[in-house]
Structure 1
Amino acid sequence: MNDNEHAVYAIAPELGGWTVYDTKTLEPALVKSVRQVGLGREAAHAMADALNGMERTAPGSSLARPDGPA
């Protein structure tokens, strides 16, 4: 991902709940080292909205880094 791009999050139904995922990598979102899978629909929407808001405010801020969780 180059410096001008930012993550965009969406949700998808999966067995056992909903997953929040990065639309570029198709990987589940990580929040404090926890994959955002198996969520209720409303919780998944809220998490995706929060992560997308972080990205609009400060691109790259929602991404997990080796030196600390997102």
Structure 2
Amino acid sequence: MNNNSDPTEYDIRQEGSGWTVYNTKTGKPVRLNDAAQVGLSREVATEILRMLREFQPGRDVSQEG
């Protein structure tokens, strides 16, 4: 991850009938390819979370705007 992030910066939560991958510092959904990661199956949300924790994504822009 970038210098200001750690593996616990991201998590998943159930919202309505789906799951959201979110930034634990801001509470906002993670955006990948400009798409908010909301309304996902638990399996997909868990896989995205695993990848975020394993790889080093670019700057988190969910805190902007």
Distance 1:46 1:64 in 2: 20
Kindly name which structure, 1 or 2, has the bigger radius of gyration based on alpha carbons: 1
CA RMSD in angstroms, aligned pairs only: 2.2
- Relative CO higher for 1 or 2, CA cutoff 8 Å, sep ≥ 6? 2
Gaps of 5+ in 2: none
CA 1:62/1:16 → structure 2, altered by over 3 Å: closer, same or farther? Answer: farther
In the TM superposition, residue 17 of structure 1 has moved relative to its aligned partner by: 0.3
Aligned residues: 59
Alignment map for 1:36-51 (pairs within 5 Å): 36-51=37-52
Higher percent of residues as helix:
2
Percent identity over paired residues:
36
Using structure 1 for the length normalisation, give the TM-score: 0.71
Runs ≥4 residues deviating over 4 A: none
Letter in structure 1 aligned against 2:60: L
Distance 1:33 1:39 in 2: 15
